[in-house]
A and B are shown apart, each in its own frame.
Chain A
Amino acid sequence: MTKAYLEISLNIAVENRATAGGIYTKYKQPFLDQIQGASSKELLIRDEDVQVLHGFDTVENANAYLKSELFNNDVVKELAPLLSANPDIKIYVVA
């Protein structure tokens, strides 16, 4: 049951989106398998930006993911060269 969402909005130029899609796909399963409380991960796309919508069982686990090695050493490092602005990170609790 998803009780919290982590929304990471990323400004990625259209020409870099296929590469970013590859990074998303590469780390989707490790995220779902290894990260505590992870329940879903979806890549959302619109003209202005893309958003990775992560589902968690608790806000605490969403916060903990941002401090994990998978996030900092893998996802952030690989995505960094593709970003045109700082990512916008939001954590919400489901009412």
Chain B
Amino acid sequence: MHLCIVNNDVINKTNKMTKFKRNLIICLTVIATIFTSATFAQTKNKQVAGAYLEITLKINDADRTAAAGVYLKYKQPFLKQIKGAVSKELLIRTDDVQVLHGFKTQADAEAYLKTDLFNNDVVSALKPFLQAAPEVRIYTVFTNK
């Protein structure tokens, strides 16, 4: 009888431990899954542009290095400070250059054109190099959903 009680105690303790371990494993799995999907969603959000702002600029060959300097100077501030900014690339061809900006939404692209960073910094810095008025286009990305 005494032995039986001891045995039961041991079995109970073992059961409790197994249950605890199982719960712990389940908890950790859930936490890991939530963390992974949150990180993935963040990365995905950052990469997907829902709208593009294309600014096409006529700049003489001689001024293109200086203009590229302006682009580089304001690239990081753009990506860090501007709401919904996703990407910024400088595209070059013989006829002109184009700054291709990715945004989360069309509203974010429109809002950027009204910011101090755009008007006081970028526009002022590029002005001396422009041979014609810039061409500004905002497009939304077609999604098949």
Contact = CB atoms under 8 A, between A and B. Distances in A.
A31 interface: no
A66 interface: no
A46 B137 CA distance: 8
A85 interface: no
A3 to B, nearest CB: 10
Interface in A54-95: 90-95
A10 B25 CA distance: 56
A89 to B, nearest CB: 11
A44 B139 contact: yes
Contacts of A25: 144
Contact of B68 (A44, A45, A53, A95): A95
Chain A contact residues, majority secondary structure:
strand
Contact of B142 (A5, A42, A94, A95): A42
Given A5-B100, A44-B52, A46-B137, A92 B93 contact: yes
Contacts of B138: 46
Contacts of B89: 94-95
A7 B89 CA distance: 14
Contacts of B92: 92-95
B98 A92 contact: yes
A7 to B, nearest CB: 8
A72 B93 CA distance: 23
B90 interface: yes
Given A53-B52, A92-B98, A45 B91 contact: no
Nearest to B141: A42
Interface string B114-134: 000000000000000000000
B90 to A, nearest CB: 4
Nearest to B90: A95
Interface of A: 5, 7, 21, 24-25, 42-46, 50-51, 53, 90-95
5 contacts: A43-B141, A45-B140, A50-B139, A90-B95, A95-B91
